[in-house]
Structure 1
Amino acid sequence: MTSTPPSPQGLNLGYSHPHPFSLISLSTRSSVQALLTSLLDPLLPFFSPLKSRIKCPGATAVRFDQSASEVEGICRPLWGLACLLAGGGGYHAAEYWVEGIRNGVDPEGEEYWGYPRDNDQRMVEMCPLGFALAVVPGIWEGLGDKGRRDLESWLGNSINEKNMPDTNWLWFRVFANLGLKKNGGKYSQERLDRDVEHLETFYRGDGWSNDGPKGIHQMDYYSSSFAIHFLQLLYAKLAGHDEPARAAEFKKRAQMAALDLAHYYDTEGRSIPFGRSVGYRFAMVSFWGAIAYADVELPKPLTWGMVKGIVMRHLRWWQTQADMWSSSGTLTIGYSYPNMYMAENYNSPGSPYWACLAFICLAVPETHPFWTSEEQDHWGVLPPVKALPQPGHIMVSLGTHTFLLSSGQACSYPMKGTHAKYGGFAYSSSYAYSVPPGLFTLEQYALASQLGLSDDGGEYWKTRRLSASQLKTAPDGTPFLISEWKPFVDVHVKTYLLPPVPGATENYHFRVHHIWAEGREVMTADGSFAICNESTLRESKGRYLDLWDESKGEGTSPKLIGNYDLATPEAWADGQKGAFAVHKTKGAVGIRALEGGSIRKANLVNADPNSNLVESRTAIPTLQGTVKKGEKVWYVGGIYARPGGKPEEFLSGWDKIPELPGWLKEEIEKSS
């Protein structure tokens, strides 16, 4: 780590110049090392003169100061660099980070990072720094005597005397202390122990921890790959000799959780986007590298070939997302493309590099079965439908579709688009969730897999956010979810979510609402999954989907119209006939009313652009109706999805309508 790195060369991506990230053939450990290098290299031109900061392209502001944003820029890539170096790999510009850390913690220096205050973003970035110190001794050694003293003050004293959010953040302080401890620096064992003990109160059972104390139901990727499970496993590896019992417990939880978490990844490698911070992209797969790094024995029927397959297929899928880069080759804020609508108020231009957690697999020795095993698909051995009591999810992989039904979680603090990120009824690996780019009319709300209610004629819509939910089992053993919620103080909704039944009707799942409009009349809009609204047909030249044409294998029914032609008769169909959209490469989605009568109409909502995480242009098949003041109604919806297979078969299940279970029929009849 003492060699002089070459002068950084910028990467300019033009019209037909793919990112090097997408050109690497992934199969071996060395190819994943090369993948990381392609991610780090574009950052080099954006180092500050003294190397203590990285100012990634983009001038967007966040809730913390610009200096912290640039500290984020240099520290987050350390997740990848540290894993690379710890695993015996090398990087030609590794010295940049050592020099940057030395200058960043110098309180008299021109590029001092600044002493943290309470709840400071700098505390988050202390976690990858602490981990890097723990696994790469050359960083500590390269700082020199003054640099080490400065680091002890900045990293240890500051974080140990400040307040932190009562969330996964506490793990960041644990790793700050652990990094110093591993190098003989000044740290607080008392604070470290107290934080780990408090983090234990987040544990809920079945291997799952909540991202916060009791009273909060938030179990997203922070509970697994982004923070809690991931850091528990790293802690078990690095501190297990001091706390063997706790390390064994963390590994046991990972074994239990692994059998649940495997359901979040489909056969193409895509994960199911759910919750906040999905702009961290391939960090969603980091749990699996961590379970190998911590030497956890896999629970049956999982094998290391399956684990390797999950990781490698996931990285390969991200290689196909060519629009997620800036023209300089750096990661953008967004998911499959740059998107500020889905971003959190803490997503700075350097924020996406939390994705480097995925490279924990590079710290795994090349002799480990994670690397020596042949890739396998895990879906041949997992049950196609599985209820997860802790997150309140029913996981489904049937009919070429991997998705989940959700009881309705809720973030404990204001979160942009929180109702879409946590309150949706279903989340799919094929049809990602949508967020509202505006708050005026259905087109801006983009109610994919949500029920919206409006009391002002359709200008503003309320959806499920806070709810009381239950996971139950039907008489035939099938799991289902019930949630009760109130979009308005005097409007009551009880929602039933039933997974598909394997067989002829497996492309459908049920969504049933019992609505009592006690104090006001409300309009309703019930959306299916959102699908790409950009034709692949040569004659259409990328325009919106036309009316369904069986001979072309693409289109919508009824007609998809613009946002200003809502009165067009051909844009509406009877609710029982339903609405669907078929895309030549993305499959088919739809929704139809099964409650009898004609109390709802079907149409295609032409969602505002950039509302969806993956597709920048989408259409949402939707059922619309009105519930009069004082009225009670039952809405029974069949939600259709078939994302895979042969294009001519995308609609093969559309007219194979499932039968509502007898127990639910009886419940509807009793209360009607």
Structure 2
Amino acid sequence: MATKGLVLGYNGIHPFGQVDLKDRASVQDLLRTLLDPLEPFFSPQKARVRCPGSTAVRFDQAASEVEGICRPLWGLSCLLAGGGEYRGTQWWIDGIASGTDPESPEYWGYPRDNDQRMVEMCPLGYALAVAPEIWNGLSEKQRGNVEMWLGNSINEKNMPDTNWLWFRVFANLGLKKNGGRFSQERLDGDIKHLDTFYRGGGWSNDGPEGIHQMDYYSSSFAIQFLQLLYAKLAGDEEPERAGEFKKRAHQIALDLAHYYDKEGRAIPFGRSVGYRFAMCSFWGALAYANVELPAPLTWGMVKGIVMRHLRWWQTQHNMWSPSGTLTIGYSYPNMYIAENYNSPGSPYWACLAFICLAVPEDHPFWTSKEEDQWSVLPLTKEIPQPKHIATNIGGHCMLLSSGQACSYPMKGTHAKYGCFAYSSEYAYSVPPGLFSLEQYALASQLGFSDDGGEHWKARRLFEYAGLERRASVPVLVSVWKPFKGVIVRTILVPPQEEMPNWHLRIHKIKTGREVMTADGSFAIMNENSKNGRYLDLYNEELGEGTSPLLIGNYDLSTPAAWSAGDAGSFAVSKGAVGIKCLETGLNTSRRANLVNADPNSNLVESRTTIPTLQHTIRAGETVWYISAIYAKPPAEGVDKKSYLDGWNNPPKIPEWLKGEMLV
């Protein structure tokens, strides 16, 4: 008989969004609303979970279904480790038994080299280490099968030279904690090699020398998170190593605190953002490992980051399938943002966020009153290792970014790592197609086309990237080549307190071929408040609309759709965004319009428009672009008519830049 599951109909609200999130017990309830909808999708012997969705990934279907059962283990094991209970715990015990049994029809299969199954060994190893009811629920023969599948197989295989090595560490640690067969040699060797990824200031690269990728894998998704779990579980036996991991967490905490805004939103940056609320996992792991907080952070602030973050995700009602399971996407189902390793079960890596449930209820993480970290943090901070400048001046948390790139050109990698700015309010966009600006959706990017605007290239790889200073102001400088014979030197200048809603992007471009350029501001929701249709020309009484006119795709010749570059273009809906050029009269004649981005290109808003400056540079020319980008997010109690209050007062060209332009 089929198990009845959750069905979300028209305007249905997932139980996840209905939990009154206020304390440890309510977070336990929140987790249960994630686990319950999985029940109908367990296989007969419980070894696999086939989440709704028939999308394929780069690995086999069996491995996809192993993800489906193992990733929710992060949440279940944290719940059990903290003394909580779940009615379906036996499902996982039975599934582990049958999945590791070579004679079972639902056997998971031994991993090959670089096999996805290795990833799922990490939550299984952790679960065995902290939830004794799982190991104790297995017979002697079943334990032997787990030892063989979890230990022998992974210790004999090659793994990617990335954060994956931590997964083998936890496979061995889980067996070690239960007296099973494991490899101490492999465990020590992997941690020793992972230490070569360390770069200082608490930050680790997601890979060896030559790769500069410091995203959420460096913190909440993997490296910092797993270092802290290891420090907790192996600290008595290895106090020196545990102390080093805690020291790194202590150092990085004041950097990472800048990635979460007052509403609890994390700044979307990098790959795997479909893991959603896993972004806040680091903070629960701090408490779990009993790390001493760096001043001026308090446990009330740490608790506030986690709780506000979870509450924000409770408002994202479109991220669920009709049966109540998490979908591939961010704020809504979206395959365009997906990596080639995102199966229907992948999003349950989000369960890392529930490490806070393994924290005892008498820990100050739970007993403290929630506080706002922005009452003590500087509003602007240079973060040297990831090459970020973090700001919270203009009503949203924003990162200026240079120098990062994934080790391989994944889908949308230029958007995930190469944008000039990333915002907690205005999420990045990815290209849903390969023709025209509408499909490339170049939000916070400078694009180049050498074929008349059909194909575009933006910043991805760098010849140089560094934090520098200009007249005491921190700036990010990068040198990059979108095409052979085209070289760009970019300077990113953060907002200043006297003009909080503006930041500057400065580009010196030298080209040996004719190229079209498109310089995009942030993307913003392209819906009016009256009937949900696309934004009309700006209406002062309504406090929404665009300037110039937003005309839709493919019609770029309408005069009303363009304005001069110094007049710029803007859009007002959820706050306001816009872009103006400051170099008018120097050596360019850029024009402004709005790019009607293809639907589902943005992580948060399914319909967006991007204020953009466009121009053509002739072969042999050298030009300077000085772009002023405006962003004023909405805020409670703020009149919509005030969103453009700073628009007619853009910043001036800095004096130090005038000097550089003469060289």
Task: Please indicate the TM-score interval, normalised by the length of the shorter structure.
Answer: over 0.9
Q: In the alignment, which residue of structure 1 is the partner of 2:559?
A: 569
Q: In the alignment, which residue of structure 1 is the partner of 2:505?
A: 511
Residues 38-49 of structure 1 aligned to structure 2 (within 5 Å):
38-49=33-44
Q: In the alignment, which residue of structure 1 is the partner of 2:115?
A: 120
Counterpart pick for 1:452 among 447, 461, 466: 447
Determine the C-alpha separation between the residues in 1 that align with 2:458 and 2:610. Answer: 16
Q: In the alignment, which residue of structure 2 is the partner of 1:478?
A: 473
Measured after TM superposition, the shift of residue 380 of structure 1 is 1.2
List per-residue Cα deviations over 1:166-207 (Å, max 9, x = no partner).
Answer: 000000000000000000000000000000000000000010
Determine the C-alpha separation between the residues in 1 that align with 2:77 and 2:655. Answer: 57
Count of aligned pairs between the two proteins: 658
Determine the C-alpha separation between the residues in 2 that align with 1:7 and 1:301. Answer: 54
Measured after TM superposition, the shift of residue 455 of structure 1 is 0.5
Counterpart pick for 1:308 among 285, 303, 314: 303
Is 1:558 the counterpart of 2:548? The answer is: yes
SS in 1 for 2:199: strand
SS in 2 for 1:483: strand
Distance 1:359 1:26, change over 3 A: same
SS in 2 for 1:398: coil
Residue identity in the other structure for 1:470: A
Contact between 2:520 and 2:610, CA under 8 Å: does it hold in 1?
Answer: yes
Residues 256-405 of structure 1 aligned to structure 2 (within 5 Å):
256-405=251-400
Determine the C-alpha separation between the residues in 2 that align with 1:66 and 1:401. Answer: 41
Determine the C-alpha separation between the residues in 1 that align with 2:396 and 2:323. Answer: 35
Measured after TM superposition, the shift of residue 303 of structure 1 is 0.4
Contact between 1:408 and 1:425, CA under 8 Å: does it hold in 2?
Answer: no
Q: In the alignment, which residue of structure 2 is the partner of 1:3?
A: none
SS in 2 for 1:401: coil
Counterpart pick for 1:666 among 641, 659, 663: 659
Determine the C-alpha separation between the residues in 2 that align with 1:476 and 1:304. Answer: 37
SS in 2 for 1:163: coil
Determine the C-alpha separation between the residues in 2 that align with 1:161 and 1:474. Answer: 49
Q: In the alignment, which residue of structure 1 is the partner of 2:532?
A: 542
Residue identity in the other structure for 2:510: W
Is 1:594 the counterpart of 2:594? The answer is: no
Q: In the alignment, which residue of structure 2 is the partner of 1:237?
A: 232
List per-residue Cα deviations over 1:370-402 (Å, max 9, x = no partner).
Answer: 000000111111111111110000001012121
Distance 1:382 1:468, change over 3 A: farther
Residue identity in the other structure for 1:595: E
Counterpart pick for 1:467 among 462, 467, 473: 462
List per-residue Cα deviations over 1:134-164 (Å, max 9, x = no partner).
Answer: 0001111111111100000000000000000
Measured after TM superposition, the shift of residue 7 of structure 1 is 8.5
Q: How high is the sequence identity, in percent, across the aligned residues?
A: 72
Is 1:75 the counterpart of 2:70? The answer is: yes
Determine the C-alpha separation between the residues in 2 that align with 1:302 and 1:660. Answer: 37
Q: In the alignment, which residue of structure 1 is the partner of 2:10?
A: 15
Determine the C-alpha separation between the residues in 1 that align with 2:261 and 2:3. Answer: 38
Counterpart pick for 1:149 among 107, 120, 144: 144
Counterpart pick for 1:650 among 643, 647, 656: 643
Determine the C-alpha separation between the residues in 2 that align with 1:232 and 1:129. Answer: 17
Distance 1:7 1:301, change over 3 A: farther
Is 1:611 the counterpart of 2:601? The answer is: yes
Residues 205-220 of structure 1 aligned to structure 2 (within 5 Å):
205-220=200-215
Determine the C-alpha separation between the residues in 2 that align with 1:226 and 1:436. Answer: 24
Determine the C-alpha separation between the residues in 1 that align with 2:27 and 2:2. Answer: 24
Measured after TM superposition, the shift of residue 656 of structure 1 is 1.8
Contact between 1:267 and 1:379, CA under 8 Å: does it hold in 2?
Answer: yes
Determine the C-alpha separation between the residues in 1 that align with 2:658 and 2:121. Answer: 55
Q: In the alignment, which residue of structure 2 is the partner of 1:524?
A: 517
Contact between 1:485 and 1:492, CA under 8 Å: does it hold in 2?
Answer: yes
Determine the C-alpha separation between the residues in 1 that align with 2:214 and 2:443. Answer: 21
Is 1:179 the counterpart of 2:177? The answer is: no
Determine the C-alpha separation between the residues in 1 that align with 2:592 and 2:446. Answer: 14
Contact between 1:469 and 1:481, CA under 8 Å: does it hold in 2?
Answer: no
SS in 1 for 2:612: strand
Residue identity in the other structure for 1:516: K
Contact between 2:468 and 2:477, CA under 8 Å: does it hold in 1?
Answer: no
Determine the C-alpha separation between the residues in 2 that align with 1:517 and 1:47. Answer: 58
TM-score computed with the length of structure 1 as normaliser:
0.97
Contact between 1:79 and 1:357, CA under 8 Å: does it hold in 2?
Answer: yes
Determine the C-alpha separation between the residues in 1 that align with 2:471 and 2:243. Answer: 37
Contact between 2:480 and 2:489, CA under 8 Å: does it hold in 1?
Answer: yes
Where do 4+ consecutive residues of structure 1 move more than 2 Å?
Answer: 6-9, 468-477
Residue identity in the other structure for 2:660: E
Residue identity in the other structure for 1:182: K
TM-score computed with the length of structure 2 as normaliser:
0.98
Q: In the alignment, which residue of structure 1 is the partner of 2:55?
A: 60
Distance 1:194 1:351, change over 3 A: same
Determine the C-alpha separation between the residues in 1 that align with 2:657 and 2:150. Answer: 58
Q: In the alignment, which residue of structure 1 is the partner of 2:28?
A: 33
Determine the C-alpha separation between the residues in 2 that align with 1:17 and 1:298. Answer: 41
Determine the C-alpha separation between the residues in 1 that align with 2:146 and 2:397. Answer: 46
Contact between 1:578 and 1:602, CA under 8 Å: does it hold in 2?
Answer: yes
Measured after TM superposition, the shift of residue 16 of structure 1 is 2.4
Determine the C-alpha separation between the residues in 2 that align with 1:629 and 1:395. Answer: 36
